[in-house]
Amino acid sequence: MWRNYLTITLRLLARNRVYAAINIGGLALGLAGSLLILGYVRYERSYDSWLPDSGRVYQVQSAINVPGQPAVRTQASSFPLHDALPAGFPQIEAITSVALGKTVTEHDGQPMFLEATTVDPEFFKLFGLPFVQGSAATALPDTNAIVLTQSEAIRQFGTPDALGKLLSLGAGPGKRDYRVSGVLRDLPRNTNLKLGIVFRRDPGQIQYRGWGNFDQQHYVKLRPGADAAAINAALPAWEKRAIPIEIIEGKPATMSDVMDFRLVPLGDVHLGAVQEKAMTPGGDPRALATFAVVASLTLGMAVMNFVNLSTARGTQRAREVALRKVLGASRRQLIVQFLGESVVMAAVAMLLALTIVELATPWIAALLGADLHIAYFGAGGMFWPALGLFAVTGLLGGLYPAFYLSRFQPAKVLRANQSSVETPGNGRFRAALVVFQFAIAIGLIASTWVIYSQTRYVETVDPGYRRDGLIQIANAWRFTQGSEYEAARVAMLAIPGVTATGRTELGLASSLKSQSLMRSQGSSEYLSMGVFGVDAAFLQTMGVDLLAGRLLGDRFGADRISGQTPAALTERGMNVVVNRAAAAKLGYRSPQAAIGQVVQIGIWGFNMVPATIAGVVEDTRFRSARDAIEPMVFTYDPDRANTVLVRYAAAHPGEVMAALNKVWRKFEPEIPFEARFADDIVRELYATERARGALFAAFAGLAVLIACLGLYSLASFATERRTREIGIRKVLGAKVRDIVRLLAWQFSRPVVLANLIAWPVAWWAMRDWLNTFDQRIALTPGPFVFAGLLALVIAIGTVAGQSLRVARTNPIHALRYE
């Protein structure tokens, strides 16, 4: 019996090759899209799950709650936690601290930066990382030892066999040789850890050990059976006991009133809401959910096609069903047969889908910067998800056609000598499926247009400074200090085309958020704002507009705060420049009203220093357009600067960059020259947005293709069934254009109705997405009208060829036997 069913299925597919190709091909595309998205979603959710005992490892995250201000949440935590937390909670088996930085070495005669991770001895006990050479027990025995990753060992020594070798690191007086005490296997990309060269922490080099030191992350490993929720519930009371009282403005206060800590499972860090001071870029759970929805919709469209085409073609098998029933076939046998046909087509579609996934995965991985690969078995294997999708599409996709076809009554079919039959309401059902298909396609097209427009907008919108003709030199912490900078500045200004240079603590696309307490005169409420050190030429170099007052410089003694002690600064006071947002937050109605006003600023901890507002500048966007414009305070403090900005005009960019490199090599031969054009920095800032937009556009195109395949097949079926009607119309005088117009309108109506469903849903989704940006485009009807018209044009184009072919057919071929 089963052999007979399989034979009938293969013969049907061979006899209707176009139908089989469209049905199987559309389903394969839908399955492939779903599997690709599923693979990416599983990858994003698998961060650090490969680590041994990852379920018992937690990151300590912090929240800084300034009264009246939004909480600042960060993955960093206070320095004293390392010793204090295990003493308060015996459930903690181990704790480790991790700090990121950079170091420098010389390779092939050229200086190069290396990622430097500083850890304590407990790090390798808490994280069971795989060693190629050495072991966790012998790694980092002292501060002269280092651990390399396998790729870093190959880059430095040409071989992973680096155990015991020496590597010279650092620059200037701090340069010395380190001994390699271990080599780690390269970590997969789906990890929150960022390891290049691992150092052992030297307690003697840590200057500030207070609770305000957030220069590190802490991870804890709980004992088996320990409850993290119970620890989180007990942390507020513990903070009040553990964090000591400090004197702030002559009054006793404790940082426990403004700081909260909580344990976050290691697996939730990557997609968590807290991403400030993360080692690696975090994921976007909203984007992930969006892609999952798109994958489900795409698969749903493919299954709709499958059901639609199966029922449409099934109506032509009325005589076959009737004869089989007359010859004794039960309805159960017919259902099993039709479900079997569905399963066979789903199996072929799944094989094609897996082929597409194999071919498309490297492209998706490169686009998203993810370490995606195809494995069928083991952790993260594709076999079981593919088997599940195959079962769902094969059985559910064939369920309705099987029950529908097995209902045909032999008497009615054979009495009328019908080879095909159409039951009441079946045409409406297929039309409803087409409406839903095109509603999905229209919604995706409109959303793609909005995403593309917003991405282009944030890349080109005015950031509050002149982006063209601007170069940023990063990692210049030595270059910006000391008397040699003035000589270097003269040399840079002598380069043809260079018009200005400036130093800053806050560079373009910087993750630095230096929050300080502030209080306006006569107010008892504290505010939180970013305070950043710059030199006198920075704001002019950036091209930031001065709205009121003046900029800082050396003409006024209270402008410069470099070299001042906290006590001297508190007694003397200082001058600052604020941006428009800071002036408004402090309560001043206009930039001019802020000039000359005195505010209190927390400099170097809780030392409240009187500061006079000397100038107000326009708001500038140093970060992504997703982030709100920050209230900023600029102090004349070049000692805190670590970035140089260079302005040039009327010169070839490449020549300017080469000349700057020569000046750098003269004054800083031990440090690599890392300079980039501002346009390139901003372009990279939105690289993830562009990649996701491109992927979204690809799936929108896939959805349109699936919808068109289904519409083409249905149009072919409908025109084939109406050949006799068309012949009669032509005999009675209908022209070709009349018949084409009739058929085109029949298949255009579902598209028109689809707009009524797609527009409000897409508008709501895009409004919600745009609200995640501080600066965004206006949500106009344009993208939705465009999507509707495009879908209509595509639908008409899909059925026009088929309609034209049938309309041109000689009516004698349809009516010769009438």
In terms of average pLDDT, the best of 22-36, 307-321, 369-383, 569-583 is 569-583
Element (H, E) at 582: helix 580-585
- pLDDT-based confidence at 414, cuts 50/70/90? low
Q: Hey, how many other C-beta atoms are within 10 angstroms of the C-beta on 422?
A: 14
Pairwise CA distance, residues 277 & 312, whole Å: 58
Question: Which pair of tokens denotes residue 751?
Answer: 């598209």
Pairwise CA distance, residues 381 & 39, whole Å: 9
Residues 6+ apart with CB under 8 A from 285: 271
Instruction: Decide if pLDDT at 416 tops 60.
Output: no
Instruction: Decide if pLDDT at 408 tops 70.
Output: no
pLDDT in the model for residue 472: 96
β-strand pairing of 632-636 with 598-603:
unpaired
Pairwise CA distance, residues 420 & 11, whole Å: 18
Instruction: Decide if pLDDT at 348 tops 50.
Output: yes
Q: Which segment of 76-80, 225-229, 566-570 scores lowest on mean pLDDT?
A: 566-570
Contact 502/542 with Cβ under 8 angstroms? Answer: yes
Residues 6+ apart with CB under 8 A from 810: none
- pLDDT-based confidence at 71, cuts 50/70/90? confident
Pairwise CA distance, residues 375 & 332, whole Å: 39
Closest CA to 165 of 143, 184, 182: 182
Element (H, E) at 648: strand 643-648
Question: How does pLDDT run across 765-776, given as a tens digit for each residue?
Answer: 999 989 888 888
Pairwise CA distance, residues 159 & 439, whole Å: 57
| Phi and psi angles of residue 530, each rounded to the nearest 5 degrees, phi first | -85, 125
Contact 522/540 with Cβ under 8 angstroms? Answer: no
Contact 579/616 with Cβ under 8 angstroms? Answer: yes
Domain residue spans of the chain: 1-45+293-423, 54-268, 438-461+683-818, 476-671
Question: Which pair of tokens denotes residue 632?
Answer: 């900023």
Alpha-carbon 191 to chain mean position: 15
β-strand pairing of 197-200 with 57-64:
unpaired
Contact 461/775 with Cβ under 8 angstroms? Answer: yes
Question: How does pLDDT run across 210-221, given as a tens digit for each residue?
Answer: 887 888 999 999
Question: How does pLDDT run across 326-336, given as a tens digit for each residue?
Answer: 666 676 777 77
| Phi and psi angles of residue 96, each rounded to the nearest 5 degrees, phi first | -145, 155
Instruction: Decide if pLDDT at 13 tops 60.
Output: no
Alpha-carbon 375 to chain mean position: 24
Per-residue pLDDT, averaged over 455-460, amounts to: 86
Q: Which segment of 562-571, 590-599, 662-671 scores lowest on mean pLDDT?
A: 562-571
- Cβ burial 373-406 (10 Å sphere, 16+ → b, else e): eeeeeeebebeebbeebbeebbeebbebbbebbb
Per-residue pLDDT, averaged over 346-351, amounts to: 86
Residues 6+ apart with CB under 8 A from 147: 134, 139, 140, 180, 181, 182, 183, 184, 197, 198
Return the half-sphere exposure (C-beta side, CA atoms, 13 A cut-off) of residue 758: 30
Instruction: Decide if pLDDT at 322 tops 70.
Output: no
pLDDT in the model for residue 772: 85
- pLDDT-based confidence at 440, cuts 50/70/90? confident
3-state secondary structure 428-474: HHHHHHHHHHHHHHHHHHHHHHHHHHHHHHHHHCCCCCCCCCEEEEE
pTM of the model: 0.82
Pairwise CA distance, residues 523 & 7, whole Å: 87
| Phi and psi angles of residue 596, each rounded to the nearest 5 degrees, phi first | 85, -5
Residue identified by tokens 């050479």 is 133
Pairwise CA distance, residues 268 & 349, whole Å: 35
Q: Hey, how many other C-beta atoms are within 10 angstroms of the C-beta on 649?
A: 12
Considering the chain, what percentage of its residues have pLDDT values greater than 70?
81
Contact 59/266 with Cβ under 8 angstroms? Answer: yes
Question: Which pair of tokens denotes residue 398?
Answer: 């064939």
Question: How does pLDDT run across 277-303, given as a tens digit for each residue?
Answer: 888 888 888 888 888 888 888 888 887
3-state secondary structure 519-577: EECCCCCCEEEEEEEECCCHHHHHCCCEEEECCCCCCCCCCECCCCCHHHHHHHCEEEE
pLDDT in the model for residue 423: 45
| Phi and psi angles of residue 118, each rounded to the nearest 5 degrees, phi first | -105, 125
pLDDT higher for 204 or 110? 110
Per-residue pLDDT, averaged over 9-31, amounts to: 71
* 479: DSSP letter: T
pLDDT in the model for residue 269: 93
Residues 6+ apart with CB under 8 A from 539: 502, 546, 551, 577, 617, 634
pLDDT higher for 818 or 645? 645
Pairwise CA distance, residues 305 & 23, whole Å: 7
Per-residue pLDDT, averaged over 501-517, amounts to: 84
Question: How does pLDDT run across 21-50, given as a tens digit for each residue?
Answer: 777 888 888 888 888 888 888 888 889 988
Residues 6+ apart with CB under 8 A from 138: 181, 182
Amino acid type, 379: A
pLDDT in the model for residue 818: 47
pLDDT higher for 613 or 253? 613
What Rg value do the Cα atoms of the chain yield, rounded? 34
Terminal CA-CA length for the chain? 40
Residue identified by tokens 């944030």 is 458
**Burial level of 41, CB count in 10 A (0-12/13-18/19+)?**
middle
SS3 598: strand
- pLDDT-based confidence at 234, cuts 50/70/90? very high
Amino acid type, 512: L
In the chain, what are the helix, strand and coil shares in percent, each to the nearest 5? Answer: 50, 20, 30
Return the half-sphere exposure (C-beta side, CA atoms, 13 A cut-off) of residue 244: 7
- pLDDT-based confidence at 62, cuts 50/70/90? very high
Instruction: Decide if pLDDT at 307 tops 80.
Output: no
pLDDT in the model for residue 76: 92
CA angle 805–809–814, rounded 5-degree value: 130
Contact 575/555 with Cβ under 8 angstroms? Answer: no
Pairwise CA distance, residues 364 & 374, whole Å: 12
